[in-house]
Every structure is written in C-alpha cells, then in structure tokens.
C-alpha cells in the first residue's frame, strides 16, 4: 500500500466482433516489456512498442524504487481506426452520445490488456499510450482510488514529452484548458463522487468536463505540492485508501471546498502552467524487437479473450467459434471458452474446455488451476492429472497461493505425504 501511495503522490451502433474483413493483416511485435498486436503493419507496431518502452523509462526515472513491470503480461492491441476499435471497446460506450474513447485499459487475473486507436489526432500524438500506461501502473490502487484522481493522474502524464535525454512531465493540454474556460466546471462535491456508473464517466458532454476538470485539479494539487514542499495529494490518497469518504477526505486535507473551487477557477484562467523536467535515458533499441505475422485465428483469439473479460459475451463466443472452426488447436480459444463457461457457472463445460487447453500445453496457470479444482470436485477424478495441473500452475506462477492450498487439499484427499511429492 505504501509504495502505491508514494507512486500516486509523487505526482500518477455496436459492431459485431466477428464482422471484420477476413483479409486484414495482423502483426505481433514483442519488445522487452510489451506485446503489441496491430492491424496497421510492422512499422506502426514497432512505433507503438517503442513509445511504451520510452514511457516505461520515464516512470522508472520518476520512481526508481517502484516496480514499473507488472507481474502479468502486458498485451497492447493497437487498431488502425475507430471501426476496428469499436469491435472491442466496452459496450457501454457504443451507444449514441457516449464518450469517444481513444484508449482503454483492462486488467484481468492473469494479464493486462491495453486497447488503442491509432487514428486519433492531437497536440500530443502518444497521449493515449501514456494515459493507458499510467492506469496500468496505478494497478490495483484503481479499485479504491477515486475516479477523478485515477483519471486525473492519467491525464497529467499523458501530455509527457519524451526527448533523448530528458522528459517534460506535467505539460498542459490546450484542448482541456480551452474546454474548461468555455464550460462551467462541476462542483467539487460532484467531481469527487463520480464513479464508473456515473453519466459523467460515459456521456460525451458530461464526460468531457469530468476528464478535463480531473486533469486541472490533479495538476494544481501536484504542482502546488512540489512548489510548497507539501504532500497533500498523498495525504488525501492515504485517507481514501483507508475507506474514508472522498469528499470528507478532501475537506480534511484540502480545507474548505468552496475556497478550493474558486482557486481552481482562477488556476484554469492563468496564462501559463508549470511543468517539470527530469533526466531520463529513454533510448530504445527497436532492432531487438521480435516481429512476426499473425494468422487471423491467432489475432481473433486474443480479441475474443479481451471481449470475454470485457463482458461482451455474445461477441466473444461468436468470434471464438470462428477461431475454433479455422484453428481447432488454438490454446487461447479453449482457455477463453473455459472462462466463459466458468463465469456462467457451467462447471462441467468449463472443466472440459480447460482440460482441452491443458492437453494442448496451455501456458496459463489459471487454466491448469481451474481444471484441477473442478476435476477434484467431480466423480471421475484423475489424481495424476490433478496433481500435474496444480504443479504446472505453481511452476507457471509461483506466487499464486491458491494453487498451493489446493495441492495440499489434494494430498489430504489422497492421504499422501506432501514432502514426498515436492520437486
């Protein structure tokens, strides 16, 4: 918790999923810390991977003691246009009048997905990359962090300008400033309470004010802390991490919110904004990137997995059916089908799909774990398969404690001595 607080403070028409052109060309680019899948060709894939590696270097320079590499793989799906993006973005944003997303971050139990549109224009060409990477680094703190600060930090860092030997952090966005000057700000008591179900997080007009004002408040508080050598933003984050109400915590740390509202109004009207420059060695050798062309079923399996975890079950199933028709041995497709059945409490069907994934040499610790757990509950338990799957789950993810618990339970069921079965 302390590391997360320090990280945050020192600053941080629905389209059918299957209805895509079967002639599209997908490429996978692997850099040291990211996997990029794109339908825009090798050049764009390298460019996206390069920028993610660069912003990772900036965060490493900002927070040298923090772990900027999540344990789970980071998979970036970079789409060339809005049409492709809409086949994968959350369904809540597909209705008329909703925010026009340029990027989206989705954390699952065993991987991190970042979805990007590559046709977005703006003052900062890689803003979406930096924005979504910030969400990734905030990580599980996003579960308790108030939405205004979660998005405010992402907006704060998305305007970073990365140069060869340094980076400018905290530069303002002229579009946000102009929008706020032309529109009435939300009362802070409203801004501080916005959650994922609020129209301020989804509707285009309300959402635009929310994002821009979240940036402004975060920028003001962050810069004020740096100038005055205070730590109010961290104090606030500490309180909300302890389940304090967002508004009450703000009143305790920032003081009278009406006064803060007036200060924020004045701050937005100022003629210039401060930012800070940090030394950062952001050189990236893209010659070491690994590139390969993907067959359409391979790309569609990844897209279907994202859809499944994003809650677009119908679209995920439709796409998975095409994958399994064209590539019956696709491991990820079997894993995702297992997840869909498991989520709907169809445990025997889930066990079947996970079991087939295991036989196909799945590298997902969850596939092995769930197969073992569901097999242990069945009447036709194959002890050797259960033990092998649990041991494989542990090998693939040594820090996944439930696998150890289940292995101990299995030994108890089999009346075995665990010490005789350790590798």
* pLDDT per position as a tens digit, 397-418: 998 999 999 999 888 877 665 5
pTM: 0.77
Residue 419 has pLDDT above 80, yes or no: no
CB 332 within 8 A of CB 302: yes
Lowest average pLDDT, out of 273-287, 328-342, 345-359, goes to 273-287
Proportion of the chain above pLDDT 70, given as a percent:
89
Residue 51 has pLDDT above 70, yes or no: yes
Structure tokens at 44: 């764009």
Read off the pLDDT of each residue in 259-274 and give the average, rounded to a whole number: 93
Beta-carbon contacts of residue 357 (< 8 Å; ≥ 6 apart): 331, 334, 335, 338, 364, 367, 371
d(CA 4, CA 66) in angstroms, rounded, equals: 8
Write out pLDDT tens, residues 94-142.
Answer: 877 777 778 888 888 888 898 989 987 766 667 888 888 888 888 777 7
Block residue for tokens 């050798």: 285
d(CA 135, CA 31) in angstroms, rounded, equals: 20
DSSP 203: B
Residue 240 has pLDDT above 90, yes or no: yes
Q: Find the farthest-apart pair of alpha carbons in the chain and give their distance in angstroms, rounded.
A: 75
Write out pLDDT tens, residues 2-24.
Answer: 544 544 444 433 333 333 444 46
Write out pLDDT tens, residues 151-188.
Answer: 999 999 988 888 777 888 888 888 889 989 999 999 99
Read off the pLDDT of each residue in 71-79 and give the average, rounded to a whole number: 88
Residue 420 has pLDDT above 60, yes or no: no
Give the closest residue to 56 by CA, choosing from 157, 124, 196, 171: 157
Read off the pLDDT of each residue in 25-53 and give the average, rounded to a whole number: 93
Residue 261 has pLDDT above 80, yes or no: yes
Q: H or E segment at 104?
A: strand 103-107
Say how many C-beta atoms besides its own lie within 10 A of residue 242's C-beta: 10
The overall average pLDDT reported for the chain is 86
CATH of domain 329-421: 1.25.40.10
Read off the pLDDT of each residue in 329-341 and give the average, rounded to a whole number: 97
User: Which one has a higher pLDDT value, 239 or 90?
Assistant: 239
Res 15: pLDDT = 33
Chain region(s) in the chain for CATH 1.25.40.10: 329-421
Residue 388 has pLDDT above 90, yes or no: yes
d(CA 236, CA 248) in angstroms, rounded, equals: 10
User: Which one has a higher pLDDT value, 99 or 75?
Assistant: 75
Tell me the C-alpha to C-alpha distance, in Å, between residue 87 and each of 90, 243, 293: 9, 36, 21
């Amino acid at each position: 918790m302390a590391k997360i607080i320090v990280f945050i403070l020192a600053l941080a028409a629905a389209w059918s999923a299957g209805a895509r052109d079967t002639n599209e060309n997908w490429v996978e680019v692997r850099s040291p810390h990211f996997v990029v899948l794109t339908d825009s060709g090798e050049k764009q894939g390298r460019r996206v991977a390069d920028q993610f590696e660069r912003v990772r270097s900036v965060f490493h320079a900002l927070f040298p003691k923090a772990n900027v590499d999540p344990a789970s793989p980071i998979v970036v799906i970079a789409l060339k246009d809005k049409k492709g993006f809409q086949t994968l973005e959350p369904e809540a944003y597909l209705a008329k009048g909703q925010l026009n997303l340029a990027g989206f971050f989705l954390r699952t139990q065993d991987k991190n997905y970042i979805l990007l549109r590559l046709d977005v224009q703006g003052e900062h060409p890689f803003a979406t990359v930096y924005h979504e990477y910030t969400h990734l680094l905030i990580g599980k703190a996003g579960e308790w962090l108030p939405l205004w600060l979660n998005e405010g930090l992402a907006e704060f860092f998305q305007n970073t300008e990365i140069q060869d030997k340094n980076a400018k952090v905290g530069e303002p966005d002229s579009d946000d400033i102009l929008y706020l000057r032309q529109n009435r700000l939300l009362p802070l008591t409203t801004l501080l309470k916005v959650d994922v179900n609020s129209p301020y997080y989804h509707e285009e007009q309300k959402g635009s004010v929310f994002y821009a004002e979240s940036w402004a408040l975060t920028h003001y508080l962050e810069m004020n802390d740096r100038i005055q050598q205070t730590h109010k933003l961290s104090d606030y984050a500490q309180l909300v991490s302890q389940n304090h109400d967002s508004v009450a915590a703000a009143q305790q740390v920032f003081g009278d919110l009406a006064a803060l509202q007036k200060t924020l109004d004045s701050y937005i009207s100022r003629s210039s904004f401060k930012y800070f420059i940090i030394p950062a060695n952001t050189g990236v050798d893209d010659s070491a990137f690994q590139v390969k062309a993907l067959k359409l079923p391979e790309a569609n399996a990844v897209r279907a997995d994202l859809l499944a975890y994003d809650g677009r079950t119908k679209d995920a199933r439709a796409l998975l059916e095409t994958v399994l028709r064209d590539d019956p041995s696709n491991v990820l497709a079997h894993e995702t089908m297992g997840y869909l059945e498991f989520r709907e409490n169809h445990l025997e069907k889930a066990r079947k799909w996970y079991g087939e994934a295991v036989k196909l040499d799945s590298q997902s610790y969850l596939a092995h774990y769930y197969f073992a757990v569901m097999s242990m509950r069945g009447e036709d338990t194959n002890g050797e398969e259960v033990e092998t799957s649990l041991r494989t789950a542990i090998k693939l993810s040594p820090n996944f404690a439930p696998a150890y618990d289940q292995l101990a339970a299995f030994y108890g069921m089999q009346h075995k001595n665990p010490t005789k079965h350790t590798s």
